[in-house]
């Protein structure tokens, strides 16, 4: 049985920051990071809502953004004071996000026979630990043998067992209940839809 809890830590600090938050400062950086994985072009990424979450309890928010229902894209970003962002994890209709105390992960089934997974662990709103897994199978044979696989932890190649031990060390999944805020389209996005 999966142990779940609601993350409520630092609610007062997060609420105060929400009132002063200006999404437009980060809009371009978020779209640029969303482009490589989920869209034909950056203009195809239609962001509809954001939530501020404090993954590591340091009092500084991370940004959770989601796209329209057709794309079902979402991404979690660490925010920089200069308006840049660091992509921590992202997902689309074929994948999912998971949250842990101080961490976020994604599981993705990008195409038949391909599985990707990754995680980022935060401390003071900085990535201090990360990992990734990639597997490709030949789905056109009865055996569905592995064609390609790799595992990394903190940028170093590791075996499957080491990766899984590191991932499981993230602990129990945490269920977030964020307050979503609408993202209004820019004039350019409205013109593109005409």
- The reply to whether 189 falls in a domain is no
The 8-class DSSP code of residue 73 comes to -
- The reply to whether 120 falls in a domain is yes
DSSP states of 2-71 as a string? ----B--TTHHHHHHHHHH--GGGTHHHHHHHHHHHH-SSGGG--EEEEEEE-TTSSS--EEEEEE-TTT
Which domain range does residue 93 map to?
11-183
- The reply to whether 77 falls in a domain is yes
Query: Cα angle at 115 between 114 and 118, to 5 degrees?
Result: 145
Query: Cα angle at 165 between 73 and 109, to 5 degrees?
Result: 25
C-alpha 109/C-alpha 122 separation (Å) is: 25
Tokens standing for 3?
Answer: 């142990």
- The reply to whether 191 falls in a domain is no
Q: Report phi then psi at 19, rounded to 5.
A: -65, -30
Q: What is the full per-residue pLDDT of the chain (194 aa) written as tens digits? A: 233 333 333 333 344 456 788 888 888 888 877 655 555 555 566 788 999 999 998 888 999 998 776 667 788 999 988 888 988 988 776 678 999 999 999 988 766 788 889 999 999 989 999 999 998 888 787 777 778 899 999 999 999 999 999 999 999 999 988 889 988 876 555 555 55
- The reply to whether 4 falls in a domain is no
Per the structure, the count of domains in the chain is 1
- The reply to whether 30 falls in a domain is yes
- The reply to whether 134 falls in a domain is yes
Q: What's residue 96's pLDDT? A: 85
Q: Report phi then psi at 164, rounded to 5.
A: -65, -40
C-alpha 21/C-alpha 4 separation (Å) is: 29
- The reply to whether 67 falls in a domain is yes
Q: What's residue 28's pLDDT? A: 85
């Amino acid at each position: 049985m999966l142990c779940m809890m609601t993350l409520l830590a630092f609610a007062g600090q997060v609420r105060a920051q929400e009132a002063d938050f200006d999404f437009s400062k980060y809009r371009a950086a978020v779209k640029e990071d969303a482009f490589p994985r989920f869209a034909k072009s950056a203009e195809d990424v239609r962001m509809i809502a954001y939530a501020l979450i404090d993954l590591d309890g340091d009092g500084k928010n991370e940004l959770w953004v989601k796209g329209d229902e057709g794309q079902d894209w979402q991404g979690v970003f660490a925010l920089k004071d200069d308006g840049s962002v660091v992509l921590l994890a992202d997902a689309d209709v074929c994948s999912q996000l998971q949250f842990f105390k101080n961490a976020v992960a994604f599981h993705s089934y990008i195409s038949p026979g391909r599985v990707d997974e990754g995680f980022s662990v935060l401390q003071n709103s900085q990535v201090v630990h990360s990992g990734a897994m990639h597997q490709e199978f030949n789905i056109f044979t009865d055996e569905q043998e592995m064609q390609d696989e790799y595992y990394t932890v903190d940028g170093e190649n590791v075996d499957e067992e080491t990766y899984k031990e590191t991932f499981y060390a993230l602990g129990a999944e945490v269920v977030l209940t964020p307050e979503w805020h609408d993202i209004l389209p820019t004039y350019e996005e409205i013109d593109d839809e005409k």
